[in-house]
Amino acid sequence: MPDKDLLFVPVKNPSPATLSREQIETFNDNGFIRPLPVFSGAAVTANRAYFDFLLQQVPTTGAYSINCYQARCAGIWDLCMTPRILDYVEDLIGPNIICWASHFFCKLPHDAKTVPWHQDAAYWHLSPARTVTAWLAIDDANEGNSAMRFIAGTHRRGRLAMRKAQGNVVLDLETEHADGLGAPVYDCLKAGEISLHADMLVHGSLPNSSARRRCGLTLRYCPPEVTFTNDQWARGVEPIICRGTDPYARWRHHVRPTGDNPALDNSPHNIGGN
C-alpha cells in the first residue's frame, strides 16, 4: 500500500465565491474557520427533530452510533447535499466534491466521555490529506456543554506522534504532548452554524458536565484526487458525489436513499471524534 501523504497544502483561491479571502487565509493559518451561517429558524428546529428521531431508532447503541449513514438515511443525504455548505467547501477544495463520511457526535447531558486530542487523518486510510470537515451544530455548542476544541496551527506540523489514550475516552489513541502545542480554542456555534476544519488539525472535546445536550453532525468532504490506501477499509465507504464529477473513477456515487433507517450494520471505520 502507498504511504499516506499527511502534509497540509495551503488553499490557493484568489477569487472565492462564498468565503472571503481573509477567511481562506485564516483556514490556512489556523486550520479552521467558524462560525459560518447555514440554517436558521424552522430549519434548525427540523434538524434537531430529525436527529431526535434517529436517536430513538438506536437506543441500544447510543448517541455516538449514527456513523456513516449518509447513503442509507435520506435526511443525512440531504444534509450532505446542502448547497450553502457545499458553497463554502468548494472555495477550499474545488468544484468536485465527495462526501465520504458523516457522523452525529452527541454528548448527552452529564456525558463523562472525553474525546482526546487527535488528528482525524491519522485514523483514515486516505491519501493525500485533503479532507475538510464541516461540523454542523444541531444544538448550541459552547464551553459550557463541551464544544469541540481546536489547537490552532497544528495542521501544519505534519503527522504527530500518538499514544494509547487513558480514561473514559471515545477514541483509543491520542496525540502525544498536546498540552504543549498551544492554547485550546473552543468551537462555539449556534444551532444551524458550521465550522470547517482541516483533517490534520489537532482537536478534541472534554466531558459534558452540563445539563444541556451538545450534538453536531460531521460531514467529511474531499476532492476526487484523494485515494484509498487500504482496500478493505475502502469497501466500507459509501460516498456521495455531491458536486462536479470524479474524473479518476475512484468514488462510487450513491443516490438518495428512500427512507431513514440507521438500525443497520454500521460502518467499521474509526473516523475520528469531535
pLDDT in tens, 103-138: 999 999 999 999 999 999 998 999 999 999 999 999
Set of cell numbers at residue 227: 485515494
**Poorest-confidence range of 61-70, 168-177, 178-187, 231-240?**
61-70
- The DSSP secondary-structure symbol of 145 reads G
Angle between helices 21-30 and 83-93 (to 10 degrees): 70
Question: What span, in angstroms and rounded, lies between the C-alpha atoms of 222 and 250?
Answer: 12
Q: Look at residue 19 and tell me whether its pLDDT is greater than 70.
A: yes
Q: Where residue 1 falls among pLDDT bands split at 50, 70, 90? A: very low
**Poorest-confidence range of 57-71, 76-90, 232-246, 254-268?**
254-268
Q: Look at residue 200 and tell me whether its pLDDT is greater than 60.
A: yes
Set of cell numbers at residue 57: 431508532
Per the CB < 8 A criterion, the answer to whether 99 and 133 are in contact is: no
C-alpha distance from residue 132 to each of 3, 31, 176, 190, 248 (Å) = 20, 10, 23, 20, 19
Mean pLDDT for 52-63 is 78
Question: Helices marked H in the chain — which ranges?
Answer: 21-30, 42-57, 74-80, 83-93, 231-234
C-alpha distance from residue 26 to each of 130, 193, 196 (Å) = 17, 18, 11
Nearest to 252 by CA among 100, 130, 80: 100
Q: Where residue 60 falls among pLDDT bands split at 50, 70, 90? A: low
Question: What span, in angstroms and rounded, lies between the C-alpha atoms of 85 and 194?
Answer: 8
For the chain, domain boundaries: 21-243
- The DSSP secondary-structure symbol of 75 reads H
Q: Where residue 64 falls among pLDDT bands split at 50, 70, 90? A: confident
Mean pLDDT for 147-165 is 96
Question: What span, in angstroms and rounded, lies between the C-alpha atoms of 39 and 217?
Answer: 13
Distant-in-sequence, close-in-space partners of 219: CB < 8 Å, separation ≥ 6: 70, 79, 80, 85, 99, 101, 102, 133, 134, 136
pLDDT score at 273: 55
**Poorest-confidence range of 36-40, 48-52, 88-92, 260-264?**
260-264
Q: Look at residue 265 and tell me whether its pLDDT is greater than 80.
A: no
Q: Where residue 4 falls among pLDDT bands split at 50, 70, 90? A: confident
Beta-ladder partners of 220: 101, 133
3-state secondary structure (DSSP) of residue 106: strand
Question: What span, in angstroms and rounded, lies between the C-alpha atoms of 24 and 91?
Answer: 8
Q: Look at residue 58 and tell me whether its pLDDT is greater than 90.
A: no
> Average pLDDT, whole number, for the chain?
92
Question: What span, in angstroms and rounded, lies between the C-alpha atoms of 52 and 221?
Answer: 24
Total Cβ atoms within 10 A of residue 141: 30
Q: Phi, psi at residue 52, to the nearest 5°?
A: -55, -40
pLDDT score at 274: 61
Q: Which CATH class is domain 21-243?
A: mainly beta
